[in-house]
Amino acid sequence: MGFNICFRVFFVIVVVNWKMNQLRETLSDYYSHISDYIRELSLVICPPYPYLDQCSKLTNQYNSRGISSLYLGAQNVGHQSSGAYTGEISAAMLKDFGVSYSLVGHMERRTIFQENTLIIKQKIICLQHAGIIPILCFGDDPTSDPLTTNTKAITETIKNTLDGLDKPSSIILAYEPGWAIGGDETPPREVLEEIFFSVRSTMTATLGQDMSRHVPLLYGGGVRENNIHRLLPCRELDGFLCGGVSLKSKTLSALLNKIVTHGSTQTKVFSPVKSG
């Protein structure tokens, strides 16, 4: 019996989603407090729209010091390139502020704003045309059982979203079980690994092995300093999407320290993702 060996590219990526939080006066101190960890991994900060300009300047300020792994992200994007869409922000506008990544399909967007796969796919296309890397969020319904996962529904969502994209490998996937968002509990490791392997297999079938091996897989939902040790050993896991833990620089720094310390003791070769 023979075995097919596939070497996959691994990453260490932490995506920070402030949601509808923070104020302008706190931003400079926030960046200063987390700067010690920026050299060790790729950090994407997604502020609310009004603070994109200030965060863009702070990102450029730190990158000018030789730190090249700090990126500006957005929490959302409009599904059209321009037009009469009151309150929407286009991908080109985000790019104009120096945005490199953008969340799409976050559970809160799907449930509160009723965004469906078609809308999310249109957003991905707009982002990729603007040269911004989409971070596609997917996961279970908030009312789902923490110990059971509808893997078939998840993989169908991934397949339908990725199929037909012009640049299918220029994307990041983030699994977020709805029940875990905003809490401090996470799925068992075996459940996460089952999901990640199923998603990776779906990507391979949809995109081909060469493309799928370059797509990072993140976990989001209840990520905390006190449970990160249970998540870090998960196979196929490349990083994290963080919400509540990222609202204070102190708690985010503690989390980043745990991730960096774990990464330095592993035999995997981690390589930060680069935009463009």
Q: pLDDT for 155-209, tens place per residue?
A: 999 999 988 887 766 899 999 987 777 777 788 888 889 999 999 999 988 888 8
186 Cβ neighbours under 8 A, 6+ residues apart = 180, 192, 219, 221, 222, 223, 227, 230, 231
Residue 6, pLDDT score: 45
User: Which parts of the chain have pLDDT scores under 70?
Assistant: 1-11, 67, 141-149, 168-169, 263-276
- Whether 276 and 131 have beta carbons less than 8 Å apart is answered as yes
Token pair listed for 17: 């989603």
Residue 271, pLDDT score: 37
Q: Which CATH superfamily is domain 13-263 in?
A: Aldolase class I (3.20.20.70)
- Catalytic-residue membership of 106: yes
Options 79, 106, 108, 115, the catalytic residue:
106
Residue 142, pLDDT score: 62
Q: What interhelical angle do 151-162 and 189-207 show, nearest 10?
A: 30
Q: How far apart are CA 9 and CA 274, in angstroms?
A: 13
pLDDT in tens, 127-152: 999 999 999 999 876 666 655 667 88
* Phi and psi torsions of 45, nearest 5°: -105, 125
Decide: helix, strand or coil at residue 10: strand
**Torsion sign, CA atoms 153, 187, 208, 104:** positive
Domain boundaries, the chain: 13-263
Residue 260, pLDDT score: 87
- Catalytic-residue membership of 88: no
What stretch of H or E contains 148? Answer: none
